[in-house]
Amino acid sequence: MKGRWAEDAALEYLLVRGFTLVARNRRTPYGEIDLWLEKDGLPVFAEVKQRASNHYGTPLESIRPWKLERMRKSALYLLGREDVRVRFLAVLVSGTRAAWRIELVPLE
Protein backbone atom coordinates (compact mmCIF):
# COMPACT_ATOMS: atom_id res chain seq x y z
CA MET A 1 0.00 0.00 0.00
CA LYS A 2 1.57 3.26 -1.15
CA GLY A 3 0.53 5.51 1.76
CA ARG A 4 0.77 2.84 4.45
CA TRP A 5 3.88 4.44 5.92
CA ALA A 6 1.89 7.60 6.70
CA GLU A 7 -0.81 5.64 8.51
CA ASP A 8 1.87 3.75 10.45
CA ALA A 9 3.52 7.06 11.43
CA ALA A 10 0.15 8.56 12.40
CA LEU A 11 -0.69 5.57 14.59
CA GLU A 12 2.67 5.67 16.36
CA TYR A 13 2.27 9.43 16.90
CA LEU A 14 -1.15 8.92 18.50
CA LEU A 15 -0.10 5.95 20.66
CA VAL A 16 2.78 7.96 22.14
CA ARG A 17 0.23 10.67 23.04
CA GLY A 18 -1.95 8.35 25.07
CA PHE A 19 -4.42 7.04 22.51
CA THR A 20 -5.26 3.33 22.48
CA LEU A 21 -5.90 1.51 19.21
CA VAL A 22 -9.26 -0.25 18.94
CA ALA A 23 -9.15 -1.14 15.24
CA ARG A 24 -7.50 -0.15 12.00
CA ASN A 25 -9.01 0.14 8.52
CA ARG A 26 -12.49 -0.92 9.62
CA ARG A 27 -14.94 -1.09 6.76
CA THR A 28 -18.63 -0.34 7.19
CA PRO A 29 -21.49 0.04 4.71
CA TYR A 30 -20.73 3.80 4.79
CA GLY A 31 -16.99 3.72 4.20
CA GLU A 32 -13.75 2.96 5.98
CA ILE A 33 -12.41 4.29 9.26
CA ASP A 34 -8.61 4.58 9.06
CA LEU A 35 -8.02 4.50 12.82
CA TRP A 36 -10.51 3.75 15.57
CA LEU A 37 -8.95 4.76 18.85
CA GLU A 38 -9.88 5.56 22.41
CA LYS A 39 -8.62 8.31 24.70
CA ASP A 40 -9.89 9.36 28.11
CA GLY A 41 -12.80 6.95 27.79
CA LEU A 42 -14.01 8.45 24.51
CA PRO A 43 -14.04 6.75 21.11
CA VAL A 44 -11.93 8.65 18.59
CA PHE A 45 -12.22 8.11 14.84
CA ALA A 46 -9.33 9.38 12.74
CA GLU A 47 -8.89 10.02 9.04
CA VAL A 48 -5.24 9.95 7.95
CA LYS A 49 -4.29 12.12 4.97
CA GLN A 50 -0.81 12.38 3.53
CA ARG A 51 0.52 14.78 0.92
CA ALA A 52 4.11 15.15 -0.22
CA SER A 53 3.42 18.80 -1.12
CA ASN A 54 0.56 21.27 -1.17
CA HIS A 55 0.69 21.57 -4.95
CA TYR A 56 -2.77 20.01 -5.29
CA GLY A 57 -4.05 21.26 -1.93
CA THR A 58 -3.36 20.56 1.69
CA PRO A 59 -4.18 17.26 3.34
CA LEU A 60 -7.00 18.94 5.28
CA GLU A 61 -8.57 20.32 2.10
CA SER A 62 -8.93 16.77 0.84
CA ILE A 63 -11.39 15.90 3.64
CA ARG A 64 -14.68 17.01 2.16
CA PRO A 65 -17.95 17.40 4.10
CA TRP A 66 -19.29 14.17 2.58
CA LYS A 67 -16.26 12.31 4.00
CA LEU A 68 -16.97 13.59 7.49
CA GLU A 69 -20.61 12.55 7.16
CA ARG A 70 -19.51 9.05 6.14
CA MET A 71 -17.16 8.96 9.13
CA ARG A 72 -20.05 9.88 11.43
CA LYS A 73 -22.30 7.19 9.98
CA SER A 74 -19.49 4.63 10.17
CA ALA A 75 -18.79 5.51 13.80
CA LEU A 76 -22.44 5.07 14.76
CA TYR A 77 -22.53 1.78 12.88
CA LEU A 78 -19.41 0.47 14.65
CA LEU A 79 -20.52 1.64 18.09
CA GLY A 80 -24.04 0.32 17.59
CA ARG A 81 -25.60 3.27 19.38
CA GLU A 82 -26.16 6.99 18.97
CA ASP A 83 -26.10 8.19 22.57
CA VAL A 84 -22.33 8.21 22.97
CA ARG A 85 -19.94 11.13 22.68
CA VAL A 86 -17.23 10.65 20.05
CA ARG A 87 -14.33 12.64 18.66
CA PHE A 88 -13.27 12.89 15.03
CA LEU A 89 -9.70 13.76 14.09
CA ALA A 90 -7.84 14.51 10.92
CA VAL A 91 -4.27 13.28 11.17
CA LEU A 92 -2.43 15.28 8.54
CA VAL A 93 0.92 13.96 7.38
CA SER A 94 2.94 16.40 5.30
CA GLY A 95 6.10 15.36 3.51
CA THR A 96 7.62 12.10 2.41
CA ARG A 97 8.72 8.96 4.18
CA ALA A 98 12.19 10.50 4.55
CA ALA A 99 11.02 13.78 6.12
CA TRP A 100 7.53 14.39 7.43
CA ARG A 101 5.50 16.18 10.09
CA ILE A 102 2.13 15.44 11.64
CA GLU A 103 -0.66 17.79 12.65
CA LEU A 104 -3.85 16.81 14.48
CA VAL A 105 -7.00 18.73 13.60
CA PRO A 106 -10.34 18.09 15.31
CA LEU A 107 -13.15 17.59 12.79
CA GLU A 108 -16.57 19.03 13.59
CATH 3.40.1350.10 fits 4-107, yes or no: yes
The separation between CA 39 and the C-alpha centre of its own chain, rounded to angstroms, equals 14
User: Domain locations in the chain?
Assistant: 4-107
Going by C-alpha positions, the residue among 75, 70, 97 that lies closest to residue 8 is: 97
| Longest Cα–Cα distance in the chain | 42
pTM over the 0.85 mark = yes
Q: How far apart are CA 87 and CA 48, in angstroms?
A: 14
Position 48 scores a pLDDT of 92
Per-block mean pLDDT, blocks of 10 residues, the chain (108 long)? 79 96 96 96 92 68 84 94 90 82 88
Position 81 scores a pLDDT of 84
Task: Find all residues with CB under 8 Å of 69, minimum gap 6, and list them.
Answer: none
